[in-house]
């Protein structure tokens, strides 16, 4: 196992390198980087000064090596506007996003997997149909509609939960919990729908397998047949979809954070793009790429743990 992890880690290096090259070129192909950084109203002397300061006058491979050297040391540059290091900005904003992602995934899995198993077990009955109708709805309603809908009902009409904002769980856990409920529900809907659907399909398929019959022939109770025999064999597609869900979550987080005014990475991305703050955009892309790669690695490792037939 440790060797496998090492092998897979080494094999992620080329992927990250390609991402780094693309990110590096992003600034260079979108025009004169010095002019972009200096801004719309800069004089040619100012642009020239920027060129000197950032080293844009040097050969491109030299620039790349210098940049990648910095990145490897954990230096992603500084924001063009605030002058703060990008790593600091990410560190400041990561907690709310991480918390929201965590609560969303945990909630989605806890709700969706049992729902999917139940639908498969009772396939063709009203339970199955109800779960599937919910799944279609969950897919179809846009995140912002859900978000404002929940906000209207629970915060404005019923006055049960705060409208917007975020409190760190390390400061005040009660406030955190209250604040995170609506964003989590909003963001979870689509994942619950997705995971429940895949779980249902996957479990339904395994329920027809011979070993399910064998388990019943041993006198096993239905619950154990479902969760021990069927679910674990159905797990590979489910884990794949959960993993992809976590990766896609980053996109969903952008909207949800805007709706609920949560100061997370999603908001940082939006702000950086509207202000064309290139170092932040570059840094975030690299950071997200790293997360994707690590997630993929974790999914692959989960496969080998779930199914002994899978070896890399």
Tell me if 233 contacts other proteins by CB under 8 A.
yes
Q: How far is CA 103 from the centre of its chain?
A: 12
Tell me if 309 contacts other proteins by CB under 8 A.
yes
Tell me if 128 contacts other proteins by CB under 8 A.
no
- Closest approach of Cβ 79 to other proteins, in Å? 41
Tell me if 311 contacts other proteins by CB under 8 A.
no
Among 149, 232, 261, 294, binds other proteins (CB under 8 A): 232
Tell me if 215 contacts other proteins by CB under 8 A.
yes
CA 137/CA 146 separation, integer angstroms: 11
Return all residues near 125 (Cβ < 8 A) that are at least 6 apart.
none
Sign, CA dihedral 236-105-228-213, equals negative
Cα pseudo-dihedral 149, 151, 154, 155, rounded to 10: -150
Between 45 and 217, CB nearer to other proteins: 217
- Closest approach of Cβ 307 to other proteins, in Å? 6
How many CB atoms neighbour CB 224 within 10 A? 11
- Closest approach of Cβ 5 to other proteins, in Å? 15
Q: Which two tokens stand for residue 233?
A: 């064999």
- Closest approach of Cβ 231 to other proteins, in Å? 10
Question: Locate tokens 């080293």: which residue?
Answer: 55
Helix (H) or strand (E) holding 262: none
Helix (H) or strand (E) holding 196: helix 173-207
- Closest approach of Cβ 218 to other proteins, in Å? 4
Among 213, 223, 251, 261, binds other proteins (CB under 8 A): 213
Write out the binding residues for other proteins, residues 6-45 only, by CB under 8 A: 7
Give the closest residue to 118 by CA, choosing from 13, 25, 126. Answer: 126
Tell me if 211 contacts other proteins by CB under 8 A.
yes
Number of residues that bind other proteins (CB under 8 A): 20
Between 93 and 229, CB nearer to other proteins: 229
Among 63, 155, 220, 296, binds other proteins (CB under 8 A): 220
CA 228/CA 216 separation, integer angstroms: 12
Q: Which residues bind other proteins (CB under 8 A)?
A: 7, 209-211, 213-221, 229, 232-233, 306-309
């Amino acid at each position: 196992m440790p060797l496998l992890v090492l092998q897979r880690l080494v094999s992620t290096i080329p992927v990250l390198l390609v991402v780094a090259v693309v990110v590096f070129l992003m600034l260079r192909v979108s025009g004169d980087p010095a002019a972009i950084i200096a801004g719309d109203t800069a004089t040619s002397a100012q642009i020239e000064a920027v060129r000197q300061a950032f080293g844009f006058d040097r050969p491109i491979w030299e620039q790349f090596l210098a940049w990648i050297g910095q990145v490897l040391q954990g230096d992603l540059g500084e924001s063009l506007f605030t002058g703060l290091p990008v790593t600091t900005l990410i560190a400041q904003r990561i907690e709310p996003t991480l918390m929201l992602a965590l609560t969303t995934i945990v909630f989605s899995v806890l709700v969706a997997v049992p729902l999917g198993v139940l639908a498969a077990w009772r396939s063709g009955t009203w339970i199955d149909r109800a779960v599937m109708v919910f799944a279609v709805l969950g897919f179809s309603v846009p995140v912002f509609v859900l978000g404002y809908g929940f906000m209207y009902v629970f915060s404005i009409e019923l006055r049960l939960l705060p409208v917007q904002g975020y409190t760190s769980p390390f400061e005040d856990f009660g406030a955190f919990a209250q604040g995170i409920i609506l964003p989590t529900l909003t963001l979870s809907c689509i994942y619950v729908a997705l995971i429940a659907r895949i779980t249902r399909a996957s479990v339904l398929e395994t329920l027809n397998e011979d070993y399910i019959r064998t388990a019943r022939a041993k006198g096993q109770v239905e619950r154990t047949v479902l969760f021990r025999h069927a679910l674990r064999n159905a797990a590979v597609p489910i884990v794949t979809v959960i993993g992809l869900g976590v990766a896609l979550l980053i996109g969903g987080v952008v909207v949800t954070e805007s709706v609920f005014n949560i100061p997370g990475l999603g908001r940082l991305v939006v702000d950086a793009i509207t202000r064309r703050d290139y170092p932040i955009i570059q840094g975030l892309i690299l950071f997200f790429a790293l997360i994707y790669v690590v997630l993929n690695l974790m999914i692959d490792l989960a496969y080998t743990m779930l199914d002994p037939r899978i070896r890399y």
